[in-house]
Amino acid sequence: MLLAFYIHIKYVIISFHKDTPDVAVSVTNTTVTNVTTDVRCEARGVPDRYTYITWEHTWPGHALVIRSYPGSEVLHLNKLTYEYSGNYTCRVENGVRASRNPRAGMGTAYLQVEGTLSFTVLAFYVVIYHLYKVRVLYSLWIS
């Protein structure tokens, strides 16, 4: 009977559940008079050691990345203008390979900065080129 007990203990397998992080991004809408705001990235998963990869700023409905920022738990935005409005996506990893979900380890929130639009001509050309893949033949001045 002692021998049977030893064999049973020898073959106990301990397994730990691992999963990619669920990511929640939070931000408070603001105005240009507030000058700064923080966008927060909260990750939960097993194991709970996270690497914050990157922040991406995109316009809703388009995959064009307007700005990229280094990964961190909190993104500090300064000197806010209307152009800072848009989706902010945080990418997080914890060493667990994502399954079939391409959005695993990512969270997105929309930031609205109330103010006046002040588009630059260069930015206008870049957006038109990337969205519509056409050449801009005429100058357009937006003030």
pLDDT of residue 127: 55
pLDDT along the chain (143 residues), means of 10: 51 65 92 90 90 94 90 94 93 84 88 74 52 46 42
Strand runs labelled E in 32-126: 37-46, 51-58, 65-70, 74-77, 86-93, 106-111, 113-114
- pTM (predicted TM-score): 0.70
| Structure token pair of residue 138 | 């005429």
Strand order in the sheet with 37-46: 19-27, 37-46, 74-77
In Å, how far from its chain's centre is CA 9? 46
